[in-house]
Amino acid sequence: MPECTLCGRPGATHISINDLPYCNPQCEAADNPAPERLHPETEHLARGIAAREAAEPFHLSDCEGELKVWWESVLRHVTRDPSTGEITGFSPPSSYPPAAQVIDIALDTWDPGEVETDDQRREQITDLVTARRLVGMLLTEIDALRAEKEGLSETARLSNQTAIKACEERDARPRRSAVLREIAKDARQWASCQIEDLAMGRYAEELNQRAEAASSQEGGSR
């Protein structure tokens, strides 16, 4: 089995475009596998997460080595950035449902950059809270792209129908022209016959008139 001279994979050879070698599509597909599509069950789970985030957003606080994730609804004296809506200050609640404090971790350090393990925990929990917040935005973008795709598909379908109709009309023109030519030919033949019949009739009538005139003259001479 031949091998691609560029990547060495069996089963394919490179191709040449303008005297430059390229891996053929089989090799490129191995280098660039298609991304995994969003499974319907996964999308269903994602929409559940987005709905819970919309109903009860999380807020992450990192203060004096206490890493906590709260329900936003239980926080007190909340202030927000007017441009982004992000929480810039709050007071912790004096009482709250047990589930309202999602995460409560006491770190060994107060500031990032001192202990790697603490930095990893800060990063991981920040990723979790941020990912939960982004799920809804990404699903909104997916819905918009799907709607756009459906619109483009409908436009393409209508364009295809228009193109097919135009081709059918174009192909039908010669047939219509041929039919019209045959009709015109038949009409000319019919008209010619009618004219000929009319001329013969007039000639016969003229002969009859001459014969009658001759008979009258002959009778008068007698």
SS3 assignment, position 12? coil
Residue 63 falls within a domain, yes or no?
no
If one counts the domains in the chain, the total is 1
Residue 6 falls within a domain, yes or no?
yes
Residue 17 falls within a domain, yes or no?
yes
Percent of the chain surpassing pLDDT 70? 59
Residue 2 falls within a domain, yes or no?
yes
Question: Could you list the residue range(s) of the whole structural domain that residue 22 is in?
Answer: 1-33
Q: CA–CA separation, 154 vs 161, rounded Å?
A: 10
More confident residue, 130 or 18: 130
Q: At 191, is the pLDDT very low, low, confident or very high (cuts 50, 70, 90)? A: low
Residue 29 falls within a domain, yes or no?
yes
Whole-number pLDDT of residue 159: 73
Report yes or no on whether pTM surpasses 0.75. Answer: no
Q: CA of 168: how far to CAs of 165, 172, 174, 181, in Å?
A: 5, 6, 11, 20
Residue 112 pLDDT more than 80? yes
Residue 12 falls within a domain, yes or no?
yes
Q: CA–CA separation, 171 vs 179, rounded Å?
A: 13
DSSP class of residue 138 equals: H
Q: CA–CA separation, 100 vs 106, rounded Å?
A: 17
Whole-number pLDDT of residue 48: 92
Residue 69 falls within a domain, yes or no?
no
Residue 210 pLDDT more than 70? no
More confident residue, 63 or 17: 63
Residue 185 falls within a domain, yes or no?
no
